[in-house]
Amino acid sequence: EAPAAPEQPPEPPAEAAEHRALVLTGFGGYEKVKVQTRRGGGPGPGEVSVRVRACGLNFADLLARQGLYDRLPAPPVCPGMECAGTVRAVGDGVSERQVGDKVMILARSGLWQEVVNVPASQTFLMPEGMSFEEAAALLVNYITAYMVLFDFGNLRPNQSVLIHMAAGGVGTAAIQLCKTVENVTIFGTASASKHEFLKERGVTHPIDYRTMDYAEEVRKISPKGVDIVLDPLGGADTSKAFNLLKPMGKLITYGVANLLTGQKKNLMAMAKTWWNQFSINALQLLHHNKAVCGYHLGYMDEEFELIGGVVAKLVNLYSQGKIKPKIDSVWPFDQVADAMRQMQEKKNVGKVILVPEAPKEESKKEEN
């Protein structure tokens, strides 16, 4: 006769508990990102284990879903480059973090899950008074905007800047950072419905890129052009940006949003973007007295000191009340498709956030 069933084993240790994760199962449309259950171990040496409370959605994640982002491992893979949460365990050799610390995390991928184990060096302490949603909205967008404007762009008082997708994550961060410098003229492109918001935030001249030629609009107001152009678009827009620069002006290209035309990879859009991709040689630059810079945060993953220095400056600005992430909307993991659609169709004003659980009614009301 079969032996009696053994008693229920005790609860497995927390380390091996199951947790939910968003997984990119293959390249394509919104439906390719699915909620799956994973079983995680504890933190390894030098790592911390974090219970995730909020994750940031970025343009690179949309490109990654279509197979257009070179820093993502092959599917099935968990996306997500930034999140925020609470340290639940620390691995051997970690002294700078302890259980209970509220942290924000930057990684190449893998952060869209309820529990993550990451090197302690990729975590940053959240400043006093910051919400998890704000913390998940800070790192990628504000590091990008800060380094592009100040480290490459060398933004000074009385200069002018053109910010594309000005109501998006990097755009809203860049506007706030421009406002920390005296008398900067900001040109911002966005659809007309967002212009009132942009004016309130300090954009001097909002431009509707859908109905106007933004280069002509800039020239009407500033015939010589602008000192700095932030270019997340790529393709033909990079050439337009270069032509809009004043002497000693700087163009910083940091994305290829023009590749995103629909849910799935569009070969025509790709061909067009690459065909129109701006190219210039060093001799031509001499005659123009202009600078072209390329920025890609995804390739900075070994630059802990550099990034840490920027984060320290951002935390300081936040604590002084000079910057504050603008949250567009908060979506539970189950609604990741709607969250991606919100961003891809450029409906968002500010940052789109993912949370493991459905947000409580109170926090929903606060958002609106």
List the domain boundaries for the chain.
18-137+325-355, 144-299
Q: What digits encode the pLDDT tens for the residues 160-178?
A: 999 999 999 999 999 999 9
Instruction: State the pLDDT confidence band at 17, using cuts at 50, 70 and 90.
Output: confident
Instruction: State the pLDDT confidence band at 86, using cuts at 50, 70 and 90.
Output: very high
In angstroms, what CA-CA distances link 100 with 50, 55, 107, 137, 266? 9, 18, 20, 21, 45
Number of helices (H), then strands (E), belonging to the chain: the values are: 11, 15
Question: Is the pLDDT assigned to residue 5 strictly greater than 60?
Answer: no
Encoded tokens for 368: 């609106």
Question: Is the pLDDT assigned to residue 291 strictly greater than 70?
Answer: yes
Q: What pLDDT shows up at residue 367? A: 44
- Average pLDDT of the chain to the nearest whole number: 93
In angstroms, what CA-CA distances link 6 with 2, 3, 9, 17, 123? 11, 8, 8, 21, 43
Burial of residue 183 (CB within 10 Å: 0-12, 13-18, 19+) is: exposed
Q: What pLDDT shows up at residue 274? A: 85
Q: What digits encode the pLDDT tens for the residues 292-316?
A: 999 999 999 899 999 999 999 999 9
Q: What pLDDT shows up at residue 117? A: 98
Homologous superfamily, domain 144-299? NAD(P)-binding Rossmann-like Domain (3.40.50.720)
CA 181 to chain centre: 23
Q: What digits encode the pLDDT tens for the residues 23-78?
A: 999 999 999 999 999 998 999 999 999 999 999 999 999 999 999 999 999 999 99
Lowest-confidence segment of 81-85, 157-161, 230-234, 268-272 by average pLDDT: 268-272
Question: Is the pLDDT assigned to residue 365 strictly greater than 70?
Answer: no
Please tell me the class of the 18-137+325-355 domain.
alpha beta
Taking a C-beta distance cutoff of 8 angstroms, is the pair 176, 182 a contact?
Answer: no
Instruction: State the pLDDT confidence band at 6, using cuts at 50, 70 and 90.
Output: low
196 or 2, greater pLDDT? 196
Lowest-confidence segment of 5-9, 100-104, 228-232 by average pLDDT: 5-9
Lowest-confidence segment of 126-130, 205-209, 272-276, 289-293 by average pLDDT: 272-276
* Percent of the chain at pLDDT exceeding 70: 93
Q: What pLDDT shows up at residue 11? A: 44
Instruction: State the pLDDT confidence band at 357, using cuts at 50, 70 and 90.
Output: confident
Q: What digits encode the pLDDT tens for the residues 90-139?
A: 999 999 999 999 999 999 999 999 999 999 999 999 999 999 999 999 99
In this structure, what are the phi and psi dihedrals at residue 183, rounded to the nearest 5 degrees? 55, 50
In this structure, what are the phi and psi dihedrals at residue 211, rounded to the nearest 5 degrees? -115, -10
First to last CA, the chain: 64
Mean pLDDT of 321-346: 97
Cα–Cα distance between 315 and 127 in angstroms, integer?
Answer: 6
